[in-house]
Amino acid sequence: MNLDIKPVVTEKAVMMIESQNTLTFKCSKKMDKKGIRKEIEEIFGVKVEAIKSLIRENQKYFYVKLKKDFLAIDVATKIGMI
């Protein structure tokens, strides 16, 4: 498990969980999309549909959209985001 992955809990992130089935994570700039996909699928036992990345203020953010069979709100509840 990579300890550099941290969930983002903001109003926008919670709205994305509810409306787009998407989780938001902040991690090190060294992490790539393949690495984040592998980590998320292994840690939470879900399947990832798509990943978007963003670098802002020397931080890297990943928007992880889950497949329809898996609900982001369930994962968020499990890790204490909601």
Domain range holding 58? 6-78
pLDDT, the chain, mean: 92
| Interatomic CA distance for residues 31 and 39, integer angstroms | 10
Mean pLDDT of the region 37-66 = 95
Looking at the structure of the chain, the number of domains it has is 1
Confidence of residue 3 (pLDDT cuts 50, 70, 90): low
Q: What's the whole-model pTM score?
A: 0.91
In a domain, 12, yes or no: yes
Contact 72, 22 (CB under 8 A): yes
Q: What SS3 state is found at 64? A: strand
In a domain, 57, yes or no: yes
In a domain, 1, yes or no: no
